Structure 1
Amino acid sequence: MRTLCASTLIGEFFVIALAGLVAMKDPDLTMTTVWTVSGIAMFLCVVLCGLVTRPGGIQLGWALQLGLIASGFFVPTMFFMGAIFTALWWASIHFGRKIDEAKVRFAAQASTEAGAGAS
């Protein structure tokens, strides 16, 4: 699960950076505001890559997804991109857990086969 979620978060990192460039063209937003918000979001993406398997990591990831969608109020394309990455986040969690469960099953099966072969 960690690999899939981290891959999604790194993709979001780059999308947030590009959205920051687009947001700079908005005359109502200052460059300081845009890069402070974008920088915090990008930092959270990187930090969450390491926290995804810890308690609360998945929930923080969901909060980041909601923030990404909400950024569409400033950069309208982000409504679409936020929805796409939210779907990717869900898929990363869902299929990542299935992969982790399969790894455990295969490891248990391999250890029982190794134990039976040694007898």
Structure 2
Amino acid sequence: MRTLCSSTLIGEFFVIAFAALVAMKDPDLSAATVWTVSGVAMFLTLALCGVITRPGGVALGWALQLALVVSGVFVPTMFFLGVVFAALWWASVHYGRRIDEAKARFAAQAESASGAPDAA
């Protein structure tokens, strides 16, 4: 799960950076505000890569997805991109857990097979 979720978060890092560049064109937003909010969000995406497997990591990821969708208020394209990344986040969590379960089953089977006596 960690690999899939981290890949999604790294993609979001770049999307947030590009959205900040678009938001800079809004005359109602100051550069300091745009880069402070975007910088915090970008930092959170990277920090979340490290804590994704800990308790609450997935919930923090969902909060980040919600924030991306809400950022569409300032950059309308982010409504669409936020929904796309929320779907990617769901897929990363869902299929990542399935992959982790399959790996655990495979490891258990390999361990039980290596512990069995030889038939020779």
Structure 2 counterparts to residues 89-108 of structure 1, below 5 A: 89-108=89-108
Q: What's 1:41 paired with? A: 41
Cα offset for 1:43?
Answer: 0.2
Return the offset for 1:72: 0.2
Match of residue 7 from structure 1: 7
Q: Which stretches in structure 1 are left out of the alignment for 5+ residues?
A: none
Write the distance in 2 (CA, Å) between the matches of 1:79 and 1:59: 20
Please state whether the residue corresponding to 1:49 is helix, strand or coil.
Answer: helix
1:108 maps to amino acid:
A
Q: Deviations over 1:16-39 (max 9, x none)?
A: 000000000000000000000000
TM-score (ref. length: structure 2): 0.97
TM alignment of 1:78-97, pairs within 5 A: 78-97=78-97
Q: CA deviation at 1:118?
A: 4.7
**What percent of counterpart residues are identical?**
72
Task: Specify the code of the residue in structure 1 equivalent to 2:75.
Answer: V
> What is the CA-CA distance between 1:117 and the residue it aligns to?
4.3
Structure 1 outlier segments of 4+, above 2 Å: none
Distance in 2 (alpha carbons) for counterparts of 1:117 and 1:19: 60
Normalised to the residue count of structure 1, the TM-score between the two structures is 0.98
The alpha carbon displacement at 1:116 in A equals 1.3
- How big is each residue's C-alpha offset from its partner over 1:36-75, in whole Å with a ceiling of 9 and x where there is no partner? 0000000000000001001111111000000000000000
SS in 2 for 1:101: helix
